[in-house]
Structure 1
Amino acid sequence: MEITAGGLLEVRITPADVGKRVSVRRVETGLSGSPEFTDTVGVLTSWTEGVLLITKKDGRSVRLLESSLVAGKVVPPAPARRRGPAASFEELSRITARSWQPLESERLGGWTLRAARGFTRRANSVLPEGGPGIPLDAALARVTSWYAERSLPAYVQAATGAAGTQEMLCAELERRGWVSEASAEVRTGALAPVGDVDAPASGSVALTRVPDEDWLGRYGRVDDPEVARRVLVAGPSVWFASLEGGRAVGRCVVDGRWAGFAAVAVDPAHRREGLATAVMAALARRALEEGASAAWLQVETDNPGALALYDRLGFAAHHAYHHYRAPR
C-alpha cells in the first residue's frame, strides 16, 4: 500500500487507471464491530458510480465501494512465474489455436467464432484476439445467435494472468451473467528434459499420424469419431502416441519451436505407473527430431494428478483461460 512520509495511507488511483494492475486496501466493519482491512491485487476493470471492479489473476472479480478505500496504487505487471522458454501471451495464443482447430469458423472483428459440432469447448467457443469491432452487447448477441444456429451453447474463451484487455473481458462477461464453466492453465517448459525422462513403463510406444479406434476409446470424450478425428488431425505436424496394450495415449503438435501436448489419458487401472510420462517422452523425442525446443500444454485446474505430473516434468504456469457460457 502507498504510505506517505508522515505514515499515512493514500489512495493514488483514479478512474483513469482502469485497465491497469492495482493494489488496494479497503476497510469494513467486521462481525465484532471493529474495523477490518482487506487487500486486493488485480486489474482495475471498471470504476463507475463509486463502485470499483477488480479482476484477480484467477478470473474472480471483486467489487468494492470507493468510500471503503483507505489506500491504493498502480503496481507493475506480475512477474512471469515460469521456468520454461520466454513467450508472450499473443504468441502462445496463436500456437494453441493452431493446435486445436474447429471445423468451421467466422470472424467478428478481432474475434473468431469456432464450431466443431460440440466436440470440446476449445473447438466450440469464441477466441477473442482483439475487439469485436462492434459494441460488446451487440457482439455477444451475434455470438449467441451464431451458436444457436448450430444447436450449440455459446461460449467465450477469455484469459487471466495474460493481458489487461482479456481480464476486462472476463469481468464484462460476468457482469452480463455469463458463467465460467471450466478453467485451465497454459503451462510452458523446456522440451529436452521431457524427452530425456527414463519412463519406467513396460511396453513400446507407437507413434502414428491418425488416431485409431483404440486411441479414441482410451481418450474418451468422443461422441462422433469422424468429427473428433477431423479436429484432432488438424495442425502443422500432429503425432499420436499409444502405449502397447492401449494403456495410455497422448497427442503432440509440432509448430516451429513449440511442441504442444494434449489428450494424455491413462487406463484408470494403470495410473501412477509412469505411463503418461512414457507417452509424453516418446512424443517429445519425435518433436525434438523435428526441431522443436520448447513445450506447452493445457491442464484443467481441478486435475491434481495431472498438475503434479507436469510440475515434476518442469512445466510452469504461464496464464489461465476460462470458458464462459451464455446465460440460459
Structure 2
Amino acid sequence: MGGRLEVRITPADVGKRVSVRRRSEGDAAGSKFTDTVGVLTSWDADVLSITPKSGESVHIAESSLVAGKVVPSAPARRRGPAATFAELAPVCARAWQPVESEPLGEWLLRSAAGFTRRANSVLPLGDPGIPLDEALARVKRWYDDRGLPAYIQTATGAEGTQEELCAELEGHGWRREVTAQVRIAALAPIGDLDADISAVRLSREIDEGWLSRYQRFDTPGPHVLKVLGSGPSVWFATVPGDAEGDSPAAIGRCVVDGRWAGFMAVEVGAAYRRRGLATAVMTALARQALDEGASAAWLQVEEDNEGARALYDRMGFETHHLYHHFRSA
C-alpha cells in the first residue's frame, strides 16, 4: 500500500473488498507490518474479520490497523474469455451432476453415494430461504440420513463469490478441507496445439478400460457411471496402452455446455508420462468441443497439483476463482 497511510474503512464497508495494513502481532509500533486483501465480513467488538481468496478468515484487532481502503471487487483480466461467477458456477456444477438432489431455497443439496465431493455437497447459489442456523441443521440431517458427511461448496476470489458465507461457516464450526482453482482459457488455442492426436479415441460411453485408469472410487457402481456421464454433451478420451490388455496410457473427459468446454479426469499412467499424452487428450477434446460451437474452456485443479498447474499454465489457463469444501463440525 503506497502513499499516505490512512485508515479509510469503517464498519459500514462490511461486504466490500478491502486492503488493510496492520502492525504484526508482538511488534512495536512501526516495526513490522502485514497486509491483507479480501472481503470485510464483519467488524464487531473492535475486531475486523477479512476473508481473503484462500477462504480462511483473518481476524484483526482494530487497534493494530495503520491503513485500510476499499479496493475494486475483482482485478481486470489480462487475457482469455470474460466470465462471471454467476455464469461459471452453474456450468461447473452441471458437469458433476448428483444422483439425488433437493432444493433448499437457492441452495441445492446434492448426493451421489459419496463419489466426488462436487456431487456430494451443497451448492449455495443464493439465499437458503431460512435463517442460516436452521439451514445448516437441515443440511446436516439430510446428509446424516444418507450416511454421508455434510459438505458445503463455496467460492472466493471473484466478483459475486462467497467470502461472507465462508466466514459464517467458520463461525458455526465448519472447517475448510479442500481448496481448488477454477481456471479458464480461450478454447481455440488448445485445439490449435501441435499435438499428435492420432492415438486418441473419443467416445460417448465409458468402458472398463477408461475406468481402470481413472480409479477414483472403490467400485464403479451405477452412481459413478451416472455422475461421469452427466452433462449436456459428454465426451471421453482414451489413449490405448502399449500392449493389448493394458490399462489406457491416458484418459480425459470433456463436458460441452453452450460456449463452455470443461476438462476433467485427465490422467496419464506413470509409465507413459513425458510423452505429451495429456496435451494430446486435451487437444482432441478441444477440437471436438470447437466443432460443437464452444469457444471457452474451464477446468478445476487442486492447488498442490504442481504438474497439472504447469501444463495448464502453458495452455493459457488463468485462475478465475477458488472453490472450497467446508465440512460440518
Distance in 1 between the 2:190 and 2:281 partners?
10
Distance in 1 between the 2:98 and 2:78 partners?
29
Q: Give a deviation string over 1:175-219, Cα, whole Å, max 9, x none.
A: 222121111111111111111112257x61111111111101101
Compare 192-201 and 85-94 and name the one that shifted more. Answer: 192-201
Distance in 2 between the 1:288 and 1:45 partners?
41
Q: Which residue of 2 aligns with 1:304?
A: 306
2:190 corresponds to which letter in structure 1? V
**Structure 2 residue 204 is the aligned partner of structure 1 residue 209:** yes
Distance in 2 between the 1:81 and 1:159 partners?
18
Q: 1:146 to 1:82 in 2, by over 3 A?
A: farther
**Structure 2 residue 35 is the aligned partner of structure 1 residue 39:** yes
Once the 2 structures are TM-superposed, how far is the Cα of residue 269 of structure 1 from its aligned partner? 1.4
Compare 135-144 and 33-42 and name the one that shifted more. Answer: 33-42
Matching residue within 108, 122, 129 for 1:133 = 129
Q: Which residue of 2 aligns with 1:107?
A: 103
TM-score when normalising by structure 2: 0.93
Q: Which residue of 1 aligns with 2:244?
A: none
Once the two structures are superposed, the pairs formed by residues 229-244 of structure 1 within 5 Å of their partners are: 229-244=225-240
Identity, in percent, stands at: 68
Flag structure 2 segments of 5+ consecutive residues without an equivalent: 242-247
Distance in 1 between the 2:48 and 2:291 partners?
51
Matching residue within 5, 11, 15 for 2:7 = 11
Q: Which residue of 2 aligns with 1:179?
A: 175
Mapped contact 1:2–1:11 kept (Cα < 8 A): no
Mapped contact 1:22–1:42 kept (Cα < 8 A): yes
Q: 1:170 to 1:255 in 2, by over 3 A?
A: same
Compare 113-122 and 160-169 and name the one that shifted more. Answer: 160-169
Q: Kindly tell me the number of residue pairs found equivalent between the two proteins.
A: 322
3-state DSSP class of the match of 2:155?
strand
1:323 corresponds to which letter in structure 2? H
Q: Give a deviation string over 1:29-48, Cα, whole Å, max 9, x none.
A: 64689742222111101111
Q: Which residue of 2 aligns with 1:249?
A: 251
Q: 1:29 to 1:172 in 2, by over 3 A?
A: closer
Once the 2 structures are TM-superposed, how far is the Cα of residue 57 of structure 1 from its aligned partner? 1.3
Compare 167-176 and 302-311 and name the one that shifted more. Answer: 167-176
Q: Which residue of 2 aligns with 1:222?
A: 217
Mapped contact 1:21–1:41 kept (Cα < 8 A): yes
Aligned-residue RMSD, C-alpha: 1.8
Flag structure 1 segments of 5+ consecutive residues without an equivalent: none
Once the 2 structures are TM-superposed, how far is the Cα of residue 167 of structure 1 from its aligned partner? 0.7
3-state DSSP class of the match of 1:197?
coil
Once the 2 structures are TM-superposed, how far is the Cα of residue 27 of structure 1 from its aligned partner? 2.1
Mapped contact 1:265–1:276 kept (Cα < 8 A): yes
Mapped contact 2:73–2:159 kept (Cα < 8 A): no
2:84 corresponds to which letter in structure 1? S
Once the two structures are superposed, the pairs formed by residues 52-131 of structure 1 within 5 Å of their partners are: 52-81=48-77, 83-131=79-127
TM-score when normalising by structure 1: 0.93
Distance in 1 between the 2:22 and 2:326 partners?
29
3-state DSSP class of the match of 2:225?
helix
Compare 216-225 and 20-29 and name the one that shifted more. Answer: 20-29
Mapped contact 1:215–1:242 kept (Cα < 8 A): yes
Q: Which residue of 2 aligns with 1:271?
A: 273
Compare 159-168 and 96-105 and name the one that shifted more. Answer: 159-168
Once the 2 structures are TM-superposed, how far is the Cα of residue 158 of structure 1 from its aligned partner? 0.3
